[in-house]
């Protein structure tokens, strides 16, 4: 063994280098507080290693970035852990950067002759934040996409060179393939290379000037190896443990739904940029430059000037106060930003929906056993479960409600003027409709023309009929229930399939009663409505053949004024077939959603 | 003691991120492709009766990591009619090192242009001066519905004398 190391030393002189690295004098002995720099270096080491492994599985393009990250997360063994470590080490690194900066300033390690090294440190801080910012976009999920858009839009405001600068960063007029290739080149190439150069220079200068001992010294001098090294390794272990704990606790890094420029997302930067996000809120119009550039720029300038002030005792105190003010400001803005979000119901709802979309797209991707070449976003676009409520909110919720809200969970702007469509087609929905106490409520016909009095002082035939059911005896009630079951069975709802099959004979009875009428009630349903293969016998009366089935609802929505539906008796429901504001695909998505008929991965 | 602890700790924290990465990197080793299935290639009418081979693209659904590409080119084969309703199929992949072979009309054999392996037209056997360790890989065929040619398309490991499917 010895001859081999001798041979190697003879050729390389490595022993001298190792000795120089290890035999550093630590005045006053080893201390924990000197370990922050090493902890940071270790965090960067983790990022390099995990980053290169992630690189081997990542594909930067608008149709493959999200998809490859999804594959890492969900399909590759241990992928969630690897990505989780990379993600949370970035978070921990930000904390370590702050602690390192604090320690350097409080201990006065930035003073002459260490000014240049302090400036290197500030550059490293900015580089690290740049790495975080570029890395945030790479999964190409909603979160990264929208947050980074804000950042690049701010870049466009840079005085003088803004617009070309933005175009260069984004790689075109809008986000796309080249945004990802450029961000990836920055994130995995340019910035890490700069980081290495600066770290080497930073450590070189640190060694040149030696450690800044914390006074008073606690004991005799010690050597870097092994006294200080041991402490630093324990700190590194703690960093690793903290990262792993975070990954396991959070179940890995979250991956939101694929980036979609048509889909609203509550854009927020990562927590360490939240203070800047909050700061921007205070500057309106053209004054945005103050929030985006001037104030952060001045703070940075002050930070860089600290070593110059630090020459004087009073300067050092001034620096400490300034640092406290800056950190206080950042902390205050961060807390306010998070508080505002917690209180903001709209934001919370949007976030909830974003989490739902994130979970749903993973289900869809798994169910299809392979994402189509156009990318995963198309899976979500054709999914009734997630698209139904969104389309309902924009196209239907002007009049209709869904469980009293707009479909997405947000409250209605005005009270509904058309039926609530939650559970439409089901027995419960129809039974409520046939209930004299409910027919005129907001759940059904409130604020429709069907409850208005005509010149004879009567409401619509249907409403009058329902009121006529008020005093049904027990037998009448049971007959009504059977009719309801029969009509509802025509909807062929998936979630009702079991009870429909079970109640076949009851449904048969209900069908007969539809034509023969309920005992004690003058009119039968069939006196107006068509059912069981018979056409409607009265004009302007919905044909109940296949009522609330997929086809019926789609045809109804396309044209409620068709003679199979309300005809001339239609209230204010638009004829979407003519208006073209509601495409057939959208109608089908809403109908499938209302009927709760969507693929249920895992359920089958 | 202190030094030994340092070495152990240092080793542990250094190796940890590598360990997490190597597990993911080795993911392909744990993946298997499904059993080869019969793919419709063409009909008997498309094959000359004189036994001259024709090259056909094999189209099938392709799974590639996260993507599924429906009906896409996954390879190519040479088909040759050996009787009225009997065909024979070779994978175009040269069993030597994986280049694509070509049929030579004049010599009536197959040539791999990379390292000059030549193979017999009928049996696919490599000629004695060929570097290839085995002859061409024939594929299972069947005729259905009165003329549809179906081939069980699969690829094989190259460079070895054994015809071993890639699974």
Instruction: Return phi, psi of residue A416, to 5°.
Output: -65, 150
**B interface toward A at CB cutoff 8 Å?**
2-3, 5-6, 9-10, 12-14, 16-18, 20-27, 30, 63, 65-70
Give yes or no for a contact between A420 and A402, defined as CB atoms under 8 angstroms apart.
yes
Instruction: Give the whole-angstrom CA distance, residue A44 versus residue A198.
Output: 12
Q: Which residues of B touch A240 (CB under 8 A)?
A: 13, 16
**Distance in Å, alpha carbon of B8 to nearest chain A alpha carbon:** 10
Cβ within 8 Å, pair A53-B25: yes
Give yes or no for a contact between B111 and B124, defined as CB atoms under 8 angstroms apart.
no
**Distance in Å, alpha carbon of B9 to nearest chain A alpha carbon:** 6
Q: Which residues of A touch B68 (CB under 8 A)?
A: 368-372
Cβ within 8 Å, pair B67-A68: no
Mean of the pLDDT values across residues A302-331? 94
Residue B96 CB partners (closer than 8 Å, separation 6+): B112, B114, B115, B117, B130, B131, B132, B133, B158, B159
Helices (H), strands (E): how many in chain A? 26, 2
Give yes or no for a contact between A84 and B21, defined as CB atoms under 8 angstroms apart.
no
Cβ within 8 Å, pair A370-B68: yes
Among candidates A49, A70, A77 on the partner chain, residue whose Cβ is nearest the Cβ of B18? A49
What letter does residue A413 receive in the DSSP assignment? S
**Angle (CA) B100 B105 B111, round 5°:** 30
A472, burial (CB in 10 Å: exposed 0-12, middle 13-18, buried 19+): middle
Give yes or no for a contact between B114 and B152, defined as CB atoms under 8 angstroms apart.
no
Q: Closest by alpha carbon to A301, among A148, A119, A170, A157?
A: A119
Helices (H), A186-294: 191-209, 229-250, 274-281, 288-289
From residue A282, give the alpha-carbon distance in Å to each of A29, A277, A348: 49, 10, 22
Identify which of A263-272, A505-514, A576-585 has the greatest average pLDDT: A505-514
Q: Is B58 helix (H, G, I), strand (E, B) or coil?
A: strand
Q: Which pLDDT band, with edges at 50, 70 and 90, does A600 fall under?
A: low
Which of A40, A50, A64 to substitute to test the interface with B, most B CBs within 10 Å? A50
Token pair in block for residue B36 = 């080869």
Among candidates B12, B30, B67 on the partner chain, residue whose Cβ is nearest the Cβ of A370? B67
Among candidates B17, B24, B67 on the partner chain, residue whose Cβ is nearest the Cβ of A371? B67
Q: Which residues of A touch B25 (CB under 8 A)?
A: 53, 56
Instruction: Return phi, psi of residue A282, to 5°.
Output: -85, -5
Q: Is A76 helix (H, G, I), strand (E, B) or coil?
A: coil
Q: Closest by alpha carbon to A288, among A144, A156, A146?
A: A156
Cβ within 8 Å, pair A49-B67: no
Question: Domains of chain A, with CATH numbers?
Answer: 22-261 (1.20.810.10), 384-594 (no CATH)
Q: Which element (helix H / strand E) includes A558? A: helix A550-558
Give yes or no for a contact between A123 and A198, defined as CB atoms under 8 angstroms apart.
yes
Q: Give just the sign of the alpha carbon dihedral A553, A558, A559, A560.
A: positive
Lowest-pLDDT range of A46-55, A88-97, B33-42: B33-42
Give yes or no for a contact between B111 and B117, defined as CB atoms under 8 angstroms apart.
yes
pLDDT tens for residues B45-77? 999 999 999 999 999 999 999 999 999 999 999
Mean of the pLDDT values across residues B127-131? 95
Is the predicted pLDDT of residue A602 greater than 80, yes or no?
A: no
**Distance in Å, alpha carbon of A201 to nearest chain B alpha carbon:** 22
pLDDT at A343: 96
Give yes or no for a contact between A291 and A282, defined as CB atoms under 8 angstroms apart.
yes
- Report the b/e string of B46-59 with b at 16+ CB within 10 A: ebeeeeebeebebb
Q: Which residues of B touch A70 (CB under 8 A)?
A: 66
**Angle (CA) B4 B10 B16, round 5°:** 135
How many C-beta atoms surround the C-beta of residue B167 within 10 A? 12
Token pair in block for residue A148 = 């980074």
Instruction: Give the whole-angstrom CA distance, residue A138 versus residue A128.
Output: 16
Q: Which element (helix H / strand E) includes B17? A: helix B2-25
Q: What is the dihedral of CA B33, B34, B38, B39, to 10 degrees?
A: -50
Angle subtended by helix axes A274-281 and A295-309, to nearest 10: 120
From residue A564, give the alpha-carbon distance in Å to each of A356, A485, A490, B30, B44: 38, 21, 15, 58, 53
Mean pLDDT, chain A, integer: 93
- Shortest CA distance from B1: residue in chain A: A226
Token pair in block for residue A560 = 């409620």
Give yes or no for a contact between A317 and A259, defined as CB atoms under 8 angstroms apart.
no
Q: Which residues of B touch A79 (CB under 8 A)?
A: 24, 27
Residue A539 CB partners (closer than 8 Å, separation 6+): A563, A567, A568, A569
Cβ within 8 Å, pair B24-A72: yes
Give yes or no for a contact between A587 and A576, defined as CB atoms under 8 angstroms apart.
yes
Q: Which pLDDT band, with edges at 50, 70 and 90, does B34 fall under?
A: confident
Pairing of strands B67-83, B86-91: antiparallel
Q: Give just the sign of the alpha carbon dihedral A310, A313, A317, A322.
A: negative
Is the predicted pLDDT of residue A521 greater than 50, yes or no?
A: yes
Using the Cβ of A222 and the Cβ atoms of chain B, whether some distance falls under 8 Å is answered with no
Is the predicted pLDDT of residue A518 greater than 90, yes or no?
A: yes
A396, burial (CB in 10 Å: exposed 0-12, middle 13-18, buried 19+): buried
Dmax (CA) of chain A? 115
**Distance in Å, alpha carbon of A227 to nearest chain B alpha carbon:** 8
pLDDT at A604: 39
The residue ranges of every structural domain in chain B are: 1-31, 33-152
**Distance in Å, alpha carbon of A427 to nearest chain B alpha carbon:** 41
Mean of the pLDDT values across residues A536-558? 94
pLDDT at A601: 54
Give yes or no for a contact between B135 and B126, defined as CB atoms under 8 angstroms apart.
yes
Give yes or no for a contact between B92 and B75, defined as CB atoms under 8 angstroms apart.
yes
Chains A, B: CB contacts within 8 A come to 97
How many C-beta atoms surround the C-beta of residue A432 within 10 A? 19
- Report the b/e string of A552-581 with b at 16+ CB within 10 A: bbebbbbbbbbebbbbebbbebbebbeeee
Q: Which residues of B touch A85 (CB under 8 A)?
A: 17, 20
Q: Which pLDDT band, with edges at 50, 70 and 90, does A286 fall under?
A: confident
Among candidates A42, A76, A226 on the partner chain, residue whose Cβ is nearest the Cβ of B13? A42
Give yes or no for a contact between A437 and A467, defined as CB atoms under 8 angstroms apart.
no
Instruction: Give the whole-angstrom CA distance, residue A230 versus residue A223.
Output: 11
Pairing of strands B86-91, B102-104: unpaired
A409, HSE (Cβ side, Cα atoms, 13 Å):
12
Give yes or no for a contact between A299 and A326, defined as CB atoms under 8 angstroms apart.
yes
Q: Which residues of B touch A67 (CB under 8 A)?
A: 66-67
Helices (H), strands (E): how many in chain B? 1, 10
Pairing of strands B38-43, A222-223: unpaired
Is the predicted pLDDT of residue A181 greater than 90, yes or no?
A: yes
Token pair in block for residue B104 = 């030579």
**Distance in Å, alpha carbon of A40 to nearest chain B alpha carbon:** 13
Cβ within 8 Å, pair A82-B16: no
Instruction: Give the whole-angstrom CA distance, residue A152 versus residue A248.
Output: 33
Cβ within 8 Å, pair A229-B68: no
Q: Closest by alpha carbon to A591, among A370, A384, A435?
A: A384
List B139's β-bridge partners, or say none. B89
For chain B, what is the radius of gyration of the CA atoms?
Answer: 23
The topology (CATH level 3) of B33-152 is Rieske Iron-sulfur Protein (2.102.10)
Instruction: Give the whole-angstrom CA distance, residue A79 versus residue A84.
Output: 8
Is the predicted pLDDT of residue A287 greater than 60, yes or no?
A: yes
Q: Is B38 helix (H, G, I), strand (E, B) or coil?
A: strand
A509, burial (CB in 10 Å: exposed 0-12, middle 13-18, buried 19+): middle
């Amino acid at each position: 063994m010895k001859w081999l190391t001798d041979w190697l030393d003879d050729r390389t002189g490595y022993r001298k280098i190792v000795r120089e690295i290890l035999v550093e004098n630590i005045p006053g002995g080893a201390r924990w507080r000197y370990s922050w720099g090493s902890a940071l270096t270790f965090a960067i080491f983790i990022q390099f290693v995990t980053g290169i492994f992630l690189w081997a599985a990542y594909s930067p393009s608008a149709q493959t970035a999200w998809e490859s990250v999804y594959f890492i997360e969900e399909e590759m063994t241990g992928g969630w852990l690897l990505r989780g470590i990379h993600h949370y080490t970035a978070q921990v690194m930000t904390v370590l950067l702050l602690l390192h900066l604090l320690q350097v300033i409080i201990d006065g390690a930035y003073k002459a002759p260490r000014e240049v090294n302090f400036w290197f440190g500030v550059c490293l801080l900015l580089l690290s934040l740049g790495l975080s910012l570029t890395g945030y976009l790479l999964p190409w999920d909603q979160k990264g996409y929208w947050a980074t858009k804000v950042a690049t839009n701010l870049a466009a405001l840079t005085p003088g060179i803004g617009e070309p600068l933005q175009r260069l960063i984004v790689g075109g007029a809008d986000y796309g393939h080249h945004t990802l290739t450029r961000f990836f080149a920055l994130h995995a190439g340019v910035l890490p290379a700069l980081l290495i150069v600066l770290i080497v220079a930073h450590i070189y200068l640190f060694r040149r000037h030696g450690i800044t001992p914390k006074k008073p010294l606690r004991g005799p001098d010690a050597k870097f190896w092994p006294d200080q090294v041991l402490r630093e390794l324990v700190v590194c272990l703690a960093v690793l443990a903290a990262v792993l704990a975070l990954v396991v606790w959070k179940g890995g890094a979250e991956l939101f739904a694929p980036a979609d420029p048509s889909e609203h997302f509550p854009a927020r930067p990562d927590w360490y940029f939240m203070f800047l996000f909050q700061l921007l809120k205070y500057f309106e119009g053209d004054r945005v430059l103050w929030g985006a550039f001037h104030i952060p720029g001045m703070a940075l300038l002050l930070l860089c000037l600290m070593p110059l002030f630090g020459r004087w005792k009073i300067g050092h105190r001034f620096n400490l106060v300034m640092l406290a003010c800056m950190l206080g400001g950042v902390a205050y803005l961060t807390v306010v930003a998070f508080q505002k979000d917690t209180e903001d119901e709209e934001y919370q709802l949007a976030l909830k929906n974003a989490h739902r979309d994130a979970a749903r797209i993973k289900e869809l991707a798994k169910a299809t056993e392979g994402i189509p070449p156009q990318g995963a976003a198309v899976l979500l676009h054709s999914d009734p479960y997630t698209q139904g409520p969104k389309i309902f909110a924009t196209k239907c919720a002007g009049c209709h409600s869904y469980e009293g809200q707009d479909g997405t969970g947000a409250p209605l702007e005005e009270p509904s003027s058309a039926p609530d469509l939650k559970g439409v087609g089901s027995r419960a929905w129809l039974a409520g409709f046939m209930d004299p106490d409910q027919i005129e409520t907001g759940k059904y016909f409130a604020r429709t023309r069907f409850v208005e009095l005509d010149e004879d002082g009567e409401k619509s035939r249907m409403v009058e009929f329902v009121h006529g059911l008020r005093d049904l005896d027990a037998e009448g009630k049971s007959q009504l229930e059977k009719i309801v079951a029969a009509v509802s069975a025509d909807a062929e709802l998936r979630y009702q399939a079991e009870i429909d099959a079970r109640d076949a004979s009851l449904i048969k009875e209900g069908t007969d009663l539809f034509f023969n009428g309920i005992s004690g009630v003058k009119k039968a349903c069939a006196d107006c409505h068509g059912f069981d293969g018979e056409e409607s016998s009265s004009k302007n009366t919905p044909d109940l053949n296949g009522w609330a089935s997929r086809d019926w609802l789609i045809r109804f929505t396309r044209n409620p004024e068709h003679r199979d539906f309300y005809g001339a008796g239609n209230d204010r429901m638009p004829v979407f077939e003519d208006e073209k504001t509601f495409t057939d695909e959208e109608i089908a998505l809403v109908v499938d959603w209302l009927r709760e008929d969507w693929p249920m991965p895992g359920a089958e | 003691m202190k030094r030994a602890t340092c070495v152990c700790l240092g080793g542990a924290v250094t190796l940890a991120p590598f360990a997490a990465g190597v597990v993911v990197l080795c993911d392909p080793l744990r993946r298997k492709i499904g059993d080869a299935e019969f793919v419709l290639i063409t009909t008997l009418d498309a094959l000359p009766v004189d036994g001259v081979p024709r090259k056909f693209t094999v189209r099938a659904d392709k799974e590639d990591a996260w993507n599924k590409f429906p009906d896409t080119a996954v390879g190519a084969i040479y088909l040759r009619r050996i009787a009225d309703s009997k065909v024979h199929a070779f994978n175009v992949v040269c069993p030597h090192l994986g280049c694509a072979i070509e049929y030579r009309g004049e010599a009536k054999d197959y040539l791999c242009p990379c390292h000059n392996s030549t193979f017999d037209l009928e049996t696919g056997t490599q000629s004695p001066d060929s570097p290839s360790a085995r002859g061409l890989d024939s594929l299972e065929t069947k005729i259905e519905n009165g003329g549809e040619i179906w081939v069980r398309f699969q690829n094989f490991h190259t460079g070895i004398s054994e015809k071993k499917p890639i699974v």
